Every structure is written in structure tokens, then in C-alpha cells.
Chain A
Amino acid sequence: MNDDVYIIGAGIHPFGRTDGRSGRDQGVYAVREALGDAGIEWPDVEFAYGGSAAAGSADIMVNELGLTSVPFINVANGCATGGSALTAARNAIAAGACDIALAVGFDKHPRGAFNAKPSDYGLPEWYGETGMMLTTQFFALKIQRYMALHGISRRTLGLVAEKAFRNGTLCEHAWRRSPVDLDTILNAPIVNDPLTKYMFCSPAEGAVALVLASGKKVRELGADAVRIASVAFRTRPEGSFEVFAPSISVHGGGKPTEVASKAAFEMAGIGPEDVSVAQLQDTESGAEIMHMAENGFCTDGEQEQWLAEGWSEIGGRMPVNTDGGCLACGEPIGASGLRQVYENTLQLRGRGGARQVPNGPKVGYSHVYGAPGLSAVAILER
């Protein structure tokens, strides 16, 4: 058994569009970056987990990385692919099955909104035929009600996007590297009311790899390590409101994010007030706002003041989405959750460059959410 598990290497292939390079090749690139960062070689990796949603199996990477007979488990878990790979890699080390493990996620999606097949989600054909099976609708419907109930303004939605693009200008791996001003964001064409096109992230490409190690290996290698205080991956509880829902319970219910967040904080033995920097799922502006509350960082409605006062800016009381999040980086599904952990690793090691959170952040929190209602939280400590 290994009580503590650490991240000792983090690699990323820039997000966005890379014509002529497959999703998996971007994954290989990220793995090599992570190995170099950890100061180890591919044969040192004892266990690997990875996957993509739309760019094929991860284990084929051994063709490029080396045929070392490493056990390589393909993960196919939608939006939680990266989070699942990280959970599995961490658990393999914690269980004592190995001392060095790899988690990798990559993707390459066609342009435009995702189109889902009803039968893949256990839904009837008419649901898709009548135009109700769009992820963008779900996010709009959820934030529309949330705004009415909790007094969130459209301007605040705009401020979230403005912050994302501003942070993206400081981030080498971001896709959108130019600032977009608030008026442009608010006056852009509506995708699904109240969300304009600058308030939504786009499907994209990219890859992230993380090398995990036991405490013993960290000491052996003298690695620049960040401890994984907890990882919690949860599917939806009874009565929750999720993407692709023809009906919702009138009795209300829990949320997968709340369940995962609570479990992660409990396992880490800390609370939201201890977090120095957070990466929260921002599929669109409203998601970041709602996820601030669902993860326990504020109460419903307080986000209005948070954004007005700049508390979630780099340099604010708790910076959120320091690399520009999904809004600036785009969303390659298999890589997106690991990007958040990559960014926190960078921040806790003090390697954030122009976007470094000041005063030596000690605790990094990451949260991914996706269809059909699942959430993964990872807490890193320095």
C-alpha cells in the first residue's frame, strides 16, 4: 500500500486545432512532455490508463512510445475519461500495484456542436428528431432558471467569458489567445438564450498526460512533486437535473457535482475555504457560475458579487480557471478534465509564468462535469 500518491510529471499538447496531427499523436506528444518533466523514460512507466471520446484507443500509443509490455487500460467514459484515468492511476499506486503510473487523455472533434445519438443514451428517436437533444440547450435551460431564482445578471455571464479570454491571452496551451471585450460578448449572436456564442466553449483538439508516483519514488527521484490529496468521481444521484432529460422530478434532488465535491473535501480533510486556486467546468459561462456554488465556494447568488469584485480573477481571493478554462481552451472531451489538473500542478509548482497565482498557492481544486450527469473532482496539495 502507498498512503500518498503524487504527480511528478505533467505534459500538454496545445489545445485548439492542429491540422495534420491526429488526436492520438497529440497524446503521444503530451506523454513525452510529461516523461521529460518527470525525468523518467517510457520503460519506467509500470501502468498506464488513457482514452479519448472521438480519437480512438489510447493503448495503440505503445507503437510510438515503445513496446515495453506495459499494462495499458483504455478508458472510455465520456466527459469523465480523463478523470477516470486519473482515478484509476492513483488507485493503482495507492493499492501498491506499482510505483509509477500514467494517465493520458486526448481528443480531436469535428467542428460545430456535438451531435449525440439518442440510442447511445437510452433515449427514444423522437427526442432527437424533434430537436431536444442538444447539450447547449441543457446549459441554457439550467442557467436560465438559476438566474431567475438567484438574481444572476446577463452581465455576470459576460464577465465570466471576458475573464476566460483574458486569462487565455496569458496561457501557452490556450486556443483563444485574444481578449474579447464585454460588449462584444454580450451583443454576439445568441446560441441558446441567454447564452451568446462567446459564452460557449467549442469542441476542439488537445492532449494532456500526467505521471503519478508513490512517495518512495518521489524521494528516489528527488521529483518536483504535488500530492494528490483526493480524487472523487461520481455519477448522478436520484432526482438530479442533467443533460438529455425528457423529464425531471418535481421533488428535486442532489447533483453529481455536489456529491463528488463533498467526497473529495472529506477525503482531503479540508474545506472550500482552504482552496487557493480552482479549475471549474465552464462548458459555458453559466456553468462556471453554478459550479462555484455546487462545489461549495459560495452560496447561490453570491457569484454576482464575486464577478463584480473580481474575486475569481488571478490575484483575487480565489482564482477560477486561470488558463482560460474550456471557454479559452476549447473542449477535447478526453483531455479536458486532465487539463484542469495539469494547470493546478503548474500553479502549485509556481510555474504559471504570466498567469501564476501570487503568494505560493498550496491547494488546487479541479472539477469536471459532463453527460449524462457525472462529475470528477481532484484536490492537489503542495
Chain B
Amino acid sequence: MSVLVPIAPGLWTDEAEPRLIGARRADGEIVFPVPSGDAAALVEPVALSRKGTLWSWTTQGFEPKEPYSGPRPFQPFLIGYVELPGEVIVETRIVDAEAADLVIGMPMTFAVVAFDDTRSTYAFRPERQP
């Protein structure tokens, strides 16, 4: 299997246990992703927590119009928001779960996953129960 290329540079760290890269504004507020353009000079990049809790979720059962560029034929997926405590709430794909499994507040863990045959993207999955 060939190595997957991140769907965009600068979204997560390149390390054994990668983390999303957020941006801390001067007022302390953290945003994701790191802004581009002139606004980038006003923030400080910060690696975010790999653990959070599910803030909300929904299903995506129909194929989005362009600029969606996922694999064909279309595969339904889950998306949601995960709250990284004290940091920021990020919008994300949710993997390794069914809609029926999802409960707001459940613990979630960060992952880098395949987006299609050549590209990777970021996601969260429900934390495995011990």
C-alpha cells in the first residue's frame, strides 16, 4: 500500500501519535484550523489534545455536491463536533461507529484515516471501552 498524502498540509502534527494543529489568538481563544493569509501572523500554532468528548453528530447519507471529492461510489459517513476540554470544539469525521452507537458526551480519540486511495484526513473514533 502506498503512503497516503494528507488532504492538506498543516492540519495535524507529523509524529507517532499525531495531533490536530489549532491556533491560539492573542485573547487566548483557540481556533481550528490555523488561519491562512495575514491572519496567520496574529496567532500561535498549538498542538491539540487527542482526547475529547462528542459534542454533536449527524449522518451524511447523500453525496454532497462539489467541491466534495470523496471516493466513488459514494460511501455514507458520520460527522460531528468533538470538544477538546479547555481548548476548542472541532468539526470532524467520525469513524469506527454507527449512528446508533453515538451519544453526546461520550469519550472520543483522534485518528488519521484514509480519505480515498491516495489521501488521508483526520477523524475521531469512540474511545475503546477497557
Contact = CB atoms under 8 A, between A and B. Distances in A.
Interface stretch (A11-19, A50-58, A109-117, A332-340): A109-117
Nearest to B123: A130
B29 A128 contact: no
A137 interface: yes
Contacts of A145: 55-56, 104
Q: How large is the interface on B (under 10, 10 to 19, 20 to 34, 35 or more residues)?
A: 35 or more
Contacts of B68: 128-131
Contacts of B118: none
Contacts of A247: 22, 30-33, 88-91
Contacts of B8: 124-126
Contacts of B85: 250
Contacts of A191: 61-62
B69 A129 contact: yes
A129 B81 contact: no
Interface residues of A, number: 35
A120 to B, nearest CB: 11
A250 B88 contact: yes
A126 B35 CA distance: 13
B65 interface: yes
B13 interface: no
Nearest to B77: A131
B67 interface: yes
A251 B33 CA distance: 18
A191 B64 CA distance: 11
B93 A141 contact: no
A44 to B, nearest CB: 44
B58 A251 contact: no
Contacts of A192: 58-61
Interface in A99-157: 112-113, 115, 117-118, 124-126, 128-134, 137, 140-142, 144-145, 148
Contacts of A115: 64-67
B54 to A, nearest CB: 10
Contacts of A249: 29, 88-89
Contacts of A95: none
A193 B36 contact: no
A308 interface: no
Nearest to A129: B69
Contacts of B62: 191
Interface in B91-110: 91, 93, 99, 104
Considering the complex of A and B, which 3 residue pairs feature the smallest CB-CB distances, nearest first?
A115-B65, A128-B67, A140-B58
Given A118-B67, A129-B67, A249-B29, 17 more contacts: A113-B64, A124-B8, A125-B8, A126-B7, A129-B69, A130-B115, A131-B60, A140-B59, A141-B79, A141-B80, A144-B104, A191-B61, A192-B59, A193-B59, A246-B33, A246-B90, A246-B91
